[in-house]
Every structure is written in structure tokens, then in C-alpha cells.
A and B are shown apart, each in its own frame.
Chain A
Amino acid sequence: MTLAHLISFLSQLTQTLLVVLIAPLMLGWVAQCRAWLQNRSGPGLLQPYRVLFKLLHKDALLAHNASPLFRSAPYIQFGCMVLAASVVPIIETNLLFAPAADVIALVGVFALARVFSSLAAMDVGTAFGSLGARREMLVASLSEPALLMVLFTPLLIVQSSSLNTIVDTLAHREFQLHPSLAFAAVAFVMVLLAENARIPIDNPSTHLELTMIHEAMILEYSGRHLALIEWAHAIKFTTYCAIGIALFVPWGIAQAGVWQVLPGAVFALLVKLGVAGAGLALLESVCAKLRIFRAPEFMGMAFMLAALGMLTRLLLGA
């Protein structure tokens, strides 16, 4: 193994660990911003870590008829999310794992995790579990076409579906206004909200309501399994934000091998994540949750926006 391999391996490890470790913080930040917007003092930024710590120390309680699938699903979800996190460039573009999956394969990783969580939700055989599984799959199957259309526009501009190449091309050349990218970015935010079980599609802070989607699926989990699922969920959210940053505001991500800008890159990442979290908190405070059958309309809007972005790109070359 050469030195270059070693460096890129270390860089990969650092970036992945960074995402995995700051993911709960990101959720905490969004919750804190929401609390501020609603004139509450909020639980503090570190609350998600405390929750994870607590859950990891509790006994895991399983239903009598829970199968091995049910027990392994949290680990699989966590593994998928870590893999996804390690493909997205956040600080610099020299990722060892990047060639393993382009953006489309990344969508596949999320789908894999989702299918496992849905199957696990159906495993115990309760009314809520299967209801949540069905809704989750429904929302996902509607948001995936929209997501593909979102990805189409940057792919057209850069002529590549590899995230490394996209970031390298978009961030390190002459600045240009891309209205088509703006369309795609708005659509991406809508998809992000839907895929991460946020308002207006789902309400992450609800329990015991007939409208819940994600929470309904994990009702039967407890202890370390629940901790892994919550953590995986946080990583997914952060990774989605990172994908958005890489596609639409990649300025600041360092090129491979340019060491002197790394501190700046880390700072830029934290600022961007902070702004993204605050923006999402604002969105969640001003929007109301939609009925489940309004979700197709919501995703239709996202799809249309993304398709418009692609069409304007083709027409205006912008």
C-alpha cells in the first residue's frame, strides 16, 4: 500500500467518523432552533447524545414472536447509513469509497435501509407497525422519481453521476448562476423533508397518533436496537444535508491534496450545516403537517420543480 492510499484511507475514515459523530448534534441543533422559534428554551444541543446514551444502557425488550430479521434490521440500517455517509464528500473530495457508489447507487443504499426497516416493522405483526411500513414505502416510492429528476440537473451540468466529480467541477471553476440548479435545490429540500420523516409529510415529535409514519414503524424497538435506529436516522438526515451541500453549495469543499484549505473547509461545513438546520427548523415551524393523501401532491410539486430545472437547463444552458 502506498502513502497516497494510506492518506486517502485516513481522510475517508475521518470524514465518515465526523458525519457519524456530529449527526446527533445536527438533530439537536434543529430541535433547539425550533424551540427558539417557538419561544421555548429547548432541551439543549446535546440532548440526542443523552438519549442515545440512555437507550444504550437500557435492556432491550423484544416481542415474543420477533424474528432474527427484527433483531438484525437496526444493524443493517446503521451499516447502510454509515456507508452512505462515507460516499459523500464533505470536507475534501479524495474519498476512498467514492467509486463504490455514485449518486444513484446512493439512492439504492437508502432504499435498502428503508426496505429493511419496513420489513422489520411488519415482523411483530401489530396494527401500527404494518401501517407505518405501508406509508413509509408509499412516500418513498413517490419521492424517488422526484429525487432522480433532482439529480438529473447537476448530472447534466457536470456530465457525471459521481459526487466527487460533481463537487470538483462545481466548486472549483468560475462562478456561474444556474437557475436550473435553484429549481433542483428547492425540489431537493422537499424530497429531503419527505424522506427524513419531517413536517409536512411526517411529524418527528409525535407518538401515539394515527398520522405518524416513521415513529409507527419503530414502536416495538427498545434499548440498543432503538438507539441504533435513532442514530441511523440522524446520520441519514445529516447525509442528506451533506448531499444537498455537495450538489448545490459545494464552495469550500477542498480539492484532493490541497491541505492548507482544510481548516477553512471544516469551518465552511459547520456553517453550512448550521444554516441548513436553522432553515429546516424555520420551514418546520411555518408549515402544517399534510394529510397522507396530500403527500402525492407534495411530491408531484417536487417532481415538477426538478423537471422544470432540467428543462431550463436544456433550453437556456443555465
Chain B
Amino acid sequence: MSTSAQLINLMASLMLLIAFAMLAQRRIKSLIYLFAWQGLVLAANSLIVGWYTGHHELYLSAFFTLLLKVMALPLVLHYLIRRLDIQWDVETLINIPATLLAGIVLVVFAFNLALPISQLAGTITRGTLGIAIAVVLLAFLMMITRRKAVPQVIGFLAMENGLFFAATSATYGMPMVVELGILLDVIVGVLILGIFFFQVREAFDSLDLKHMEKLKESDP
């Protein structure tokens, strides 16, 4: 196996590791750090793939990833939780080992899902497609198991990271227009959600999504 293939595999493994770490992390603050690390690994991966395959537009995408996902978004999120005063919030997660076990089952599922696809693909990164799908699914699982609003947003962003990673590994990245569009969507999404947080807290005095259950037609 060539050195770059080994490096790409290493990056893929790190992506998976960080996805799992996010699943098991209780502290919101650490969650944001982990998200930033994931962005960094993603950028590094784009760089390596770009360098190896000669797709130089990937450098640009790596740069944007670095700018947005490693610096801008984590800063915004840090600012948000400081303003909302939930920096040290600890979530009461139910049964982390069980969640992790479910995560492992998801990984096995994703790997098997990706096997036929990656056998068709001729890219050097084909093996990592399974990991990309797994990262998406794990982020989804994280969104399901969280009750507070901010971690859910981070889960959403991590899912986007997974999709991005999938695009890099399957077809050496999306067209630049699409990529830029998605990045813009993400920024706008986070900004809108940030405003929502304040509104939600205004209304319920808490960011616990449990309170949203009241928002339905019939009064209990």
C-alpha cells in the first residue's frame, strides 16, 4: 500500500474515532472542540487526496473547510454557549455503553452497505466510503440521543462533515459550486439556529428540547 493511501486510511480512522468520541461526550464545550478537530482532519484529508490525485481544486475546498469548520463555526458556537451561559452544561445521557454498542452495529451496517459501491469505484479512497457513511449515521444517532439544542446542532454539522467526507472519498469532491453553496447553507443555518436558541430560551427558560413537546394541537 502506498504512503498516501495509508495516510488517507489514517485520516478516515480518525474521522470515525472523533465521531464516536462525540457520541460519548457529555460536555458541550468538549463537543465543540471535537467538532473543530473533525474539521481539521477533514481539511487534511482533502489536502492529501488533492495532492495525490492532482485535483488541485481540493486545496481550495480544504482551505474553506479550515476557515469555516475549524475556525468560524466553533468560534460562533463558543460565543453562543458563553452568551447562553451553558458552557459547563453536562447532559444526562442514558447508558453510554448501550449507545456505543448501537454505534458499533451502525458501523458494521455502514461498512457492509459500502462494500459493493467501493468495489465498483476506482478511486484510491474507495475503502473510506464505508467510514464516511458510518460518520453520517453516527452523527444522526447523536442527534437522536441528545436532548439539548446545541448538541443537536453540532450533530447536524457533524453529519455534514460526513457527507463532505463521503464526497471526497467517492468522487474526489463535489463540484466547487455545489460545495460553496453547501458551505453557505451551513453558515446561514447556524446563524438562524443561533437566533432560534435565544428565542427558544426566551419562551421556555431552557434549551431542553423536552419542552418542545408542548407545542402540539391538543392540550394535555
What 0/1 readout, one digit per residue, does chain B (30-73) give for beta carbons within 8 Å of chain A?
00000000000000000000000000000000000000000000
Interface of B, secondary structure class, is helix
Please choose the segment from B5-13, B153-161, B179-187, B199-207 that sits at the chain A interface, where 4 or more of its residues have CB less than 8 A away: B5-13
Q: Is B168 an interface residue (CB 8 A)?
A: no
CB of A304 closer than 8 Å to a CB of B: yes
B85-114 interface with A by 8 A CB criterion? 96-97, 100-101, 103-104, 107-108, 111, 114
Cβ of B97 and Cβ of A300 under 8 Å apart?
yes
| Given known A300-B96, A311-B108, contact A317–B127 (CB-CB < 8 A) | yes
Report yes or no: A308 in contact with B6, Cβ–Cβ below 8 A: no
Tally of chain B residues near chain A (CB < 8 A):
26
Closest chain A CB from B48 CB (angstroms): 12
> In the complex, what residues of A have CB within 8 A of residue B7's CB?
177
Within the complex, the shortest CB–CB distance from B205 to chain A, in Å, comes to 31
Interface residue B24 (Cβ < 8 Å from any Cβ of A): yes
Interface centre among A177, A315, A317 (most CB of B within 10 A): A315
From known contacts A297-B96, A316-B127, infer whether A177 and B10 are also in contact, taking CB-CB under 8 Å.
yes
Residue of A nearest to B19 (CB): A308
Do B16 and A312 have beta carbons less than 8 Å apart? yes
User: A39 at the A/B interface (Cβ < 8 Å)?
Assistant: no
Q: Does B107 contact A311, Cβ atoms closer than 8 Å?
A: yes
**Contact A315/B103 with A176-B1, A176-B6, A177-B7 known, Cβ cut-off 8 Å:** no
Closest B residue to A307 using CB positions: B104
B97 contacts A297, C-beta separation under 8 Å: yes
* Neighbouring A residues of B6 by C-beta, 8 Å: 176-177, 318
Q: Which of B13, B107, B108 lies at the interface centre, i.e. has the most chain A CB atoms within 10 A of its CB?
A: B13
- A180 on the B face (CB < 8 A): yes
Residue of B97, B107, B128 near A308 (CB, 8 A) is: B107
A308 close to B16 (CB less than 8 A): yes
Query: Does B28 interact with chain A (Cβ within 8 Å)?
Result: no
CB distance from A296 to the nearest CB of B (A): 6
Confirm or deny: A183 has a beta carbon within 8 angstroms of a beta carbon on chain B. yes
Known: A177-B9, A177-B10, A308-B20. A315 touches B97 (CB 8 A): no
Give residues of chain A (8-41) contacting chain B, Cβ–Cβ below 8 Å.
none
B104 interface neighbour in A180, A308, A315, Cβ under 8 Å: A308
Closest to A294 in B: B96
Which residues from 273 to 318 on chain A have a C-beta closer than 8 Å to any C-beta of chain B? 296-297, 300-301, 303-305, 307-308, 311-312, 314-318
Interface 1/0 per residue, B120-133 and A, CB below 8 Å: 00000001101100
Please pick, from B97, B114, B128, B130, the residue contacting A296 in the complex, using a CB distance under 8 A: B97
Please indicate which of the listed interface residues A182, A311, A316 has the most CB atoms of chain B within 10 Å of its own CB: A316
Chain A min CB distance to B193 (Å): 30
Decide if B76 is an interface residue (CB 8 Å cutoff).
no
A179 within 8 A of B: yes
> In the complex the two chains form, what is the Cα distance from A308 to B131 in whole Å?
11
CA distance A182 to B10 in the complex (A): 9
> Quick one: which of A174-201 are within 8 Å of B by CB?
176-177, 179-180, 182-183
Which single residue of chain B is at the shortest CB-CB distance from A297?
Answer: B96
Chain A contacts of B14 at CB under 8 A? 179
Does B17 reach chain A (CB closer than 8 Å)?
yes
B8 to chain A, nearest CB (A): 9
* New A-B contacts (18) at CB < 8 Å, excluding given A308-B104, A308-B107: A177-B7, A177-B9, A179-B9, A179-B10, A179-B12, A297-B97, A304-B24, A308-B13, A308-B16, A311-B108, A312-B9, A312-B16, A315-B111, A316-B9, A317-B127, A318-B1, A318-B6, A318-B10
20 contacts between A and B (CB under 8 A): A177-B7, A179-B10, A179-B14, A182-B10, A183-B13, A297-B97, A300-B96, A300-B100, A300-B101, A301-B24, A301-B100, A304-B20, A304-B103, A307-B104, A308-B13, A308-B17, A311-B107, A315-B131, A318-B10, A318-B127
Spell out A's residues near B (CB within 8 Å): 176-177, 179-180, 182-183, 296-297, 300-301, 303-305, 307-308, 311-312, 314-318
CB-CB nearest 4 A-B residue pairs: A300-B97, A179-B13, A177-B6, A318-B9
